[in-house]
Chains A and B, each alone.
Chain A
Amino acid sequence: MDLTLKIWRQAGPTVKGKFEQYSISGISTDSSFLEMMDVLNEELIGKGEEPVAFDHDCREGICGMCSLYINGRPHGPDGGITTCQLHMRKFKDGETITIEPWRAKPFPVIKDLIIDRSALDAIIQSGGYISVNTGGVPDANAIPIAREDAELAMDAAACIGCGACVAACKNASAMLFVSAKVSQFALLPQGKTEAKDRVRTMVAKMDELGFGNCTNTYACEVECPKEIKVTNIARMNRHFLGAKVSG
């Protein structure tokens, strides 16, 4: 298939970026989106131009490294997948594809389509864990956990930290990401000890980093490659309110 690509090129964090247009032909419909980008880059190198920089790693939808805002959607026009799992058969021959980096104040562009998502790490580092040291923990079966709770915790824990929720949100809010981690631990007995502090510090860090506020549009849920539900956001709101009220 033949395609026209409009790709955001930006030499560095402080440089102004702009769209460049590329034509590419002979792309197999069986190739993945990132393989199409590989082909483009090989062509650019052959022509002595600089290849397009983009983040990617596992190419099987689990590491959360790939991003890309493709024709107005994070991870492109297919549901429940990451960009590396997107295939070219989802596009039409002759189509123009616009590829942008994810845009949010806390996600500055590093180069071209590569963005800095360390803000998400900063939120986890503020309290997104259970404070146990190695060793000295009870037997794994000492505390039974209701299967339903374990399953709900797993649903939330499936988050790959890609930031598509932030990219999709009209407010660049990180609520789905934060609430997934808060929910995972709030649902498990091991996480309850620090639950109040955790929700308070993580929300404070999220605000401090300049993410937007949630307006319950739920674009995050629509675009999340792991289909994490906004019920996690409600759970976080509930726990936050509880932590406020009980002091």
Chain B
Amino acid sequence: MATLNSKIPEGPLAEKWKNFNAHQNLVNPANKRKLDIIVVGTGLAGAAAAASLGELGFIVKNFCIQDSPRRAHSIAAQGGINAAKNYPNDGDSVYRLFYDTVKGGDYRAREANVYRLAEVSNSIIDQCVAQGVPFAREYGGLLDNRSFGGALVSRTFYARGQTGQQLLLGAYGALSKEVHKGSVKMYTRREMLDLVIVDGRARGIITRNTVTGEIERHSAHTVVIATGGYGNVFFLSTNAMNSNGSSAWQCYKKGAAFANPCFVQIHPTCIPVHGDFQSKLTLMSESLRNDGRIWVPKNKEDARKIQKGELKPTEIAEENRDYYLERRYPAFGNLVPRDVASRAAKERCDAGHGVGNTGLAVYLDFKDAINRLGRDVIEARYGNLFQMYEKIVDDNPYETPMMIYPAIHYTMGGIWVDYELETTIPGLFAGGEANFSDHGANRLGASALMQGLADGYFVLPYTVQNYLADQINVPRFSTDLPEFEEAEKAVKDKLDKLINNKGSKSVDSFHKRLGHIMWDNVGMARNKEGLEKAIKEIKALREEYWKDVDVPGSLEGVNVELEKAVRVADFLELGELMARDALHRKESSGGHFREEYQTPEGEALRNDKDFMYVAAWEYNGDGEPILNKEPLNYEDIEVKTRNYKEAKS
């Protein structure tokens, strides 16, 4: 059983990171040139880490699956990035940002990490402005802030609805600068297929060049994984099509503990599924809930007629509409947190009140807001979102209510890391969404970007250096070592098996079936029976997959189906671990809702006595994974229950 040493530095909470920096080991400039670092992923965490480590003088190899580092899915984040700048003078502070994040995460995050996150948040904004990120500004020329869910202050910096894009392009610029300088070498269109461990330390990776099909070996003194989340295990999610959990999964299978896999965030305002051919779900900004009212028909008969297209929503009289969020949560109404709003929508649709041709949608109605504020005001606030909706759905949201439904959005779980972001494999680090991170059981809006950049710019450059300090006498690794040979062979065998399987069903057909199992049983609301069923069904599906999957084409050259086949094979294992984790966690917290553990009013019921820990799963070959627990101690924060019925939670 692995020992989980979180390596939290000594001292009071506010002094921990300073203490670490003051006492950490450093590498002198001449020696940095002798040390190689592999960074997998070019999103906010990966690009920022690769650029910053390159600036320090290390030799960095940076890998991404797309044709350019600028395409990583961080680019799609819309809302903004939090920081405790307190520019609006509304009482924000590092402590308050820390507190909100821990509370928003339902007390399942590590206190010291979250405090550090809040601490470095301000430097992120400074850094991005210096890079030329065009944040929104006020007329006086100073930076503008907006408010976001789960906070009482305005601390969110934004660049229109494209904050993720602008921050990523900032990091991409920094990365490009280092590529120009020669300190970072880019490897695009490369997929990491295995981690190589030499004498117990992470020393390299095996990749597939997706253009030539070549299997390549890369060695380094240390490996950083920043490959994002695994939301695509559900097939349909707001993640990009190529987002996958494979890199993280390879690390898990090589011995890195995987923490809290069941903590998945579901975003309540996405465009509903409209058919079997659908490939992806589109997020509509959460800000729509500020003015839109969510409802479903009160009578099932009306809902049925709407599903059949016999009735229009505008024909439903006011008294026959059920504004269920306003009914259930009078204080917060339509502005309850993401997890609460998502579950409530599912509950109504399961009860037969859903709309749309699938019955899996609820209305988000702007009629009252338009009557109250005028169409112009609504257009100024949401014009681009309404336009996007109309392009996709071909419905005018100014006239008929929008249809929305929850969708998988973000995974709080991930590779377990200690305070230094090092995994249970020495020399293997994980940053951004790929690690189990600082969000606990639920992430607040505008915090994903903050965490990615905090890890990349301000944590990994320090902690990776601390690790490398005693490696200066270790010469560069030859990729001819037997460990590399072995890893490459395993990868090639796996690919051979897939391509020669010659089954009868496509990769996507399996992925879709897995998605259905996951969504039905490991989705918004889970229970013992469903989770046990899911574990069984995933196992069976996995067996069928290896017997009957059809991967056309060859190992050489571009083969998109082969790329997908590898990822789906991993999802078929990862999905089971998620179900196991959800089954073992006999409580409801944040994004994890167990139907057996709720209050009489249907609210999440946490069990702090038995489950205030991080569940870090350890791979055990064909046997059942081993559960390791990292207890969470809250010394600087009072643990409370979230409450959204009354005015203050």
A and B associate in one complex:
yes
A28 touches B129 (CB 8 A): no
Over the window 494-530 of chain B, the binary record of Cβ atoms lying under 8 Å from chain A Cβ atoms (1 yes, 0 no) is 0000000000001011000000000000000000000
Task: Give residues of chain A (116-157) contacting chain B, Cβ–Cβ below 8 Å.
Answer: 116-118, 120-121, 124-135, 137-141, 143-147, 150-151, 153-154, 157
A128 touches B173 (CB 8 A): yes
Q: Which residue of B lies closest to A11 (CB)?
A: B557
* Distance of B188 from chain A, by nearest CB (Å): 7
A111–B562 alpha-carbon span in the complex (Å): 15
List of A residues within 8 angstroms of B68 by Cβ: 64, 117-118, 120-121, 161
Task: Give residues of chain B (266-288) contacting chain A, Cβ–Cβ below 8 Å.
Answer: 274-275, 277-280, 282-283
A117 touches B141 (CB 8 A): no
A165–B611 alpha-carbon span in the complex (Å): 54
B71 touches A65 (CB 8 A): yes
Q: A81-B391, A124-B173, A129-B176 are in contact. Are A45 and B552 (CB under 8 A)?
A: yes
List of B residues within 8 angstroms of A29 by Cβ: 394
List of A residues within 8 angstroms of B126 by Cβ: 137-140
Task: Give residues of chain A (93-124) contacting chain B, Cβ–Cβ below 8 Å.
Answer: 110-112, 114, 116-118, 120-121, 124
A102–B378 alpha-carbon span in the complex (Å): 38
Q: A35-B278, A38-B508 are in contact. Are A125 and B558 (CB under 8 A)?
A: no
A39–B508 alpha-carbon span in the complex (Å): 11
Task: Give residues of chain A (47-80) contacting chain B, Cβ–Cβ below 8 Å.
Answer: 48-51, 53, 55-60, 62-65, 78
Q: A59-B240, A87-B392, A110-B211 are in contact. Are A146 and B274 (CB under 8 A)?
A: no
Q: Which residue of B lies closest to A145 (CB)?
A: B141
Q: Is A160 an interface residue (CB 8 A)?
A: yes
Q: Which residue of B lies closest to A57 (CB)?
A: B240
Binds A, one of B90-98, B158-166, B315-323, B631-639: B158-166
A85 touches B392 (CB 8 A): yes
A247–B209 alpha-carbon span in the complex (Å): 44
List of B residues within 8 angstroms of A143 by Cβ: 129
Cross-chain contact of A59 among B141, B174, B177, B241 (Cβ < 8 A): B241
A78–B391 alpha-carbon span in the complex (Å): 10
List of B residues within 8 angstroms of A131 by Cβ: 177
Q: Which residue of A lies closest to B550 (CB)?
A: A45
List of A residues within 8 angstroms of B73 by Cβ: 57-58, 63
Q: How large is the interface on B (under 10, 10 to 19, 20 to 34, 35 or more residues)?
A: 35 or more
Binds B, one of A184-192, A209-217, A237-245: A184-192
The A interface, classified by DSSP as helix, strand, loop or mixed, is loop
Over the window 546-561 of chain B, the binary record of Cβ atoms lying under 8 Å from chain A Cβ atoms (1 yes, 0 no) is 0000101100011011
List of A residues within 8 angstroms of B241 by Cβ: 56-59
List of B residues within 8 angstroms of A78 by Cβ: 391
* Distance of A185 from chain B, by nearest CB (Å): 5
A133–B180 alpha-carbon span in the complex (Å): 14
Q: Which residue of A lies closest to B553 (CB)?
A: A50
A146 touches B141 (CB 8 A): yes
A180–B490 alpha-carbon span in the complex (Å): 46
Cross-chain contact of B274 among A30, A147, A150 (Cβ < 8 A): A30
A32–B274 alpha-carbon span in the complex (Å): 11
A62 touches B75 (CB 8 A): yes
Cross-chain contact of B277 among A11, A28, A110, A188 (Cβ < 8 A): A28
> Could you show 27 A-B contacts with beta carbons less than 8 Å apart?
A32-B392, A48-B552, A55-B67, A57-B71, A57-B240, A58-B241, A59-B282, A60-B238, A63-B75, A87-B394, A124-B172, A125-B179, A129-B173, A129-B176, A131-B177, A133-B55, A133-B174, A134-B55, A134-B127, A138-B126, A145-B137, A147-B139, A153-B132, A158-B165, A161-B68, A188-B132, A190-B130
- 13 additional contacts (CB under 8 A) given A134-B457, A157-B133, A184-B134: A31-B277, A42-B508, A51-B561, A56-B241, A64-B70, A85-B392, A128-B173, A140-B135, A141-B85, A144-B141, A146-B137, A161-B70, A190-B131
Interface residues of A (CB under 8 A from B): 11-12, 28-32, 34-36, 38-39, 42, 45-46, 48-51, 53, 55-60, 62-65, 78, 81, 85, 87, 89, 110-112, 114, 116-118, 120-121, 124-135, 137-141, 143-147, 150-151, 153-154, 157-158, 160-161, 184-185, 188, 190-191
What 4 pairs across the A-B complex have the smallest Cβ distances? Answer: A144-B141, A129-B173, A137-B130, A154-B134
